[in-house]
Amino acid sequence: MRLGFVGLGIMGAPMALNLIKGGHELTMWNRTAAACEPLVQAGARMADTPAVVASECDITFAMLADPEAARAVALGPDGICDGLAAGRGYVDMSTVDAATSGRISVAVEACGGRFLEAPVSGTRAPAEQGTLIILAAGDESLYKEAAGALDLMGKKRTFAGEVGQGARLKLVVNMIMGGMMSAFCEGLTLARESQLDTTELLDILDAGALGNPMFRGKGPQMLAGNYAVAFPLKHMQKDLRLALELGHDLQVKLPTAGTANDAFVRALAAGDADLDFSALLRTQND
């Protein structure tokens, strides 16, 4: 099976590399060509446009920054739909809103292709380790056909049904994660200002019902002022915004998510967009 991959950022590059390590021939494209070089060295072939990737591959995967990028790559000039042939598959693993997924799905199907949305839960390390959680929806035949490739990138996958449900599920997951990080930063700030031992606080949290991998992994780095990016802060704010829009559309009140979003917006305004989302701690008390 010939596989393609477009979007080789923090997440996409290691995901694509895992496909190569799994024995697949890979054709790839990225807006910034320099990002392709490590994968070229690993055996992948670089294409000039997304359309070329789609025209040459049985299934093309995408991991893009936001809805605007997802629409541009799929629907724009020399995009996926310009190269997709009948029966070929397009799997968009970006985190977008359900409307964007729906629009791309309609366009893919109009040219005879099959569409699967498959956003992932996880950051850089799980992407590198192939332990992402994949939240798929759309064409079930493509889901089954892509299963082997998906399993090279993730440790768990689920099929949520029709297009849009995977996008909605991912937004719920990230909304919860953003709220947790906001509360975590508030707690660390309150402990610090109370002259409590924040390292001991991390140990106490980890020993009880609040113990979780995010606090366990991020906490010591945050106390050390290390915000090396695994999941950019700007992307978390984007996901919170999309979750709030979904809540508005469904008339679901999301006050906690709204407060968390406000905190991330302040962090963006402070210039922390490209730091890890845990850098919210830097502006928590502003």
Strand ranges inside the chain, DSSP E: 3-6, 26-29, 45-46, 59-62, 89-92, 114-117, 120-121, 132-138, 154-159
Token digits for 106? 């309609």
Walk me through the domains of the chain, giving residue ranges and CATH numbers. Answer: 3-163 (3.40.50.720), 168-283 (1.10.1040.10)
State how far the Cα of 141 lies from the Cα of 138, in Å rounded to an integer: 9
Residues 6+ apart with CB under 8 A from 155: 126, 130, 131, 132, 133
Choose among 73, 96, 84: nearest CA to 7: 73
CA distances from 190 to 197, 209, 231 (A): 11, 20, 25
- Catalytic amino acids? 170
Paired strand residues for 114: 89
SS3 for 90?
A: strand
Asked if residue 194 lies in contact with residue 171, where contact means CB atoms within 8 angstroms, the answer is no
State how far the Cα of 69 lies from the Cα of 75, in Å rounded to an integer: 10
Choose among 188, 245, 253, 240: nearest CA to 214: 188
pLDDT per residue rounded down to tens, the chain (286 residues) = 899 999 999 999 999 999 999 999 999 999 999 999 999 999 999 999 999 999 999 999 999 999 999 999 999 999 999 999 999 999 999 999 999 999 999 999 999 999 999 999 999 999 999 999 999 999 999 999 999 999 999 999 999 999 999 999 999 999 999 999 999 999 999 999 999 999 999 999 999 999 999 999 999 999 999 999 999 999 999 999 999 999 999 999 999 999 999 999 999 999 999 999 999 999 998 8
State how far the Cα of 127 lies from the Cα of 129, in Å rounded to an integer: 5
Q: What pTM value is reported for the model?
A: 0.95
